[in-house]
């Protein structure tokens, strides 16, 4: 998982009535994060204010819906004295039924490279994490793709399952950065879900020591270079195409609560 995600700060509001107020740095509504707060507040005579800050674009395949849901859950749960397991499970269900993703909450509970061996969040689900030591370049090429559309398309989901099955079998035997990147490229090429421009740029960036794949589901890509020389070639190619990019690391740990100063606040971070 990327070392960039969502911060949520929750504060107690006036206790005259049960209410939830959301503010964020994203112009569009965030129904999944709001649903998490509603579920956790249900049956409690309190009002809360939640502030979200996103470090990556929403709707570009970077898991921001799951990260926002998880950060919100951890912050609100900490404020209300709710157990972490209940908070995480609430975030998972809100993301799943809100069609923000297919289990992203489970993956961001730990850092690095992850493989979901059994669906769901622990203890029901099983996710294996391994270190991912290489820097990751991400770039956005077009407008967001709301995941609710692709995740409501049964024919598309069947194609995803068909393309993912051999990849998961390979990763189940050898969960390494090299194998993951190889399968990510194959998955990207087989599904061909991006625009022609996305795939044209992806092909143009690839080369010896450079792996590039689409971030699902987004008009975006991620790239990993095997060494410094390959990374410099990759960045030059991005510069020639005038594509703004970020160089990120893989997160070393999963979603967590953090401390902040202010009026009785609680905060959560999910990457």
Counting every residue written for the chain, the total comes to 271
Ordered by where they begin, the domains of the chain are: 6-125+252-270 (3.30.230.10), 133-248 (3.30.70.890)
User: How far apart, in Å, are the Cα atoms of 23 and each of 11, 45, 52, 54, 61?
Assistant: 12, 21, 6, 12, 22
Span 178-185, average pLDDT: 96
Q: Round the CA-based radius of gyration of the chain to a whole number and report it.
A: 19
pLDDT tens column, 20-60: 999 999 988 899 999 999 999 998 888 899 999 999 999 89
Which helix or strand (DSSP H or E) is residue 231 part of? helix 228-240
Structure confidence at residue 146 as a pLDDT band (50, 70, 90): confident
* Token couple for 26: 């994203």
Neighbours of 155 (CB within 10 A): 7
Structure confidence at residue 104 as a pLDDT band (50, 70, 90): confident
Is 190's pLDDT higher than 90? yes
CA 164 to chain centre: 18
d(CA 268, CA 71): 4
Query: For 85, how many CA atoms within 13 A lie in the half-sphere containing its CB?
Result: 4
Residues 32/22, Cβ–Cβ less than 8 Å: no
Is 264's pLDDT higher than 60? no
Among residues 250, 246, 218, which one has the least CA distance to residue 107? 250
d(CA 269, CA 95): 16
With pLDDT > 70 as the criterion, what percentage of the chain qualifies?
96
Residues 269/255, Cβ–Cβ less than 8 Å: yes
* Token couple for 214: 């689409």
Please tell me what DSSP assigns to residue 144.
-
The predicted structure's pLDDT at residue 120: 84
């Amino acid at each position: 998982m990327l070392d960039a995600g969502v911060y949520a700060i929750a504060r107690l509001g006036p206790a005259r009535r049960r209410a939830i107020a959301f503010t964020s740095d994203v112009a569009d509504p965030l129904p999944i994060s709001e649903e998490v707060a509603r579920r956790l507040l249900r049956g409690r005579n309190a009002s809360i204010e939640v502030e979200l800050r996103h470090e990556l674009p929403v709707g570009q395949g970077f898991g921001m819906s799951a990260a926002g849901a998880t950060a919100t859950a951890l912050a609100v749960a900490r404020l209300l004295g709710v157990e972490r397991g209940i908070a995480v499970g609430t975030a998972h269900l809100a993301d799943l039924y809100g069609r923000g993703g297919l289990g992203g909450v489970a993956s961001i509970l730990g850092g690095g490279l992850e493989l979901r061996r059994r669906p769901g969040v622990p203890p029901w689900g099983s996710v294996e994490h391994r270190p991912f030591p290489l820097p990751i370049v991400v770039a956005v090429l077009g407008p967001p793709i709301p995941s609710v559309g692709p995740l409501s398309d049964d024919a598309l989901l069947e194609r995803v399952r068909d393309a993912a099955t051999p990849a998961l079998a390979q990763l189940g035997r050898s969960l390494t950065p090299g194998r993951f990147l190889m399968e990510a490229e194959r998955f990207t090429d087989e599904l061909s879900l991006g625009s022609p421009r996305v795939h044209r740029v992806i092909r143009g960036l690839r080369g010896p020591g450079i792996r590039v794949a689409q971030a699902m589901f987004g008009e975006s890509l991620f790239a990993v270079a095997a060494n410094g020389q390959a990374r410099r070639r990759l960045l030059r190619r991005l510069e020639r195409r005038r594509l703004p990019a970020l160089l990120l690391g893989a997160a070393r740990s999963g979603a967590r609560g953090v401390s902040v100063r202010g009026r009785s606040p609680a905060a959560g971070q999910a990457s």
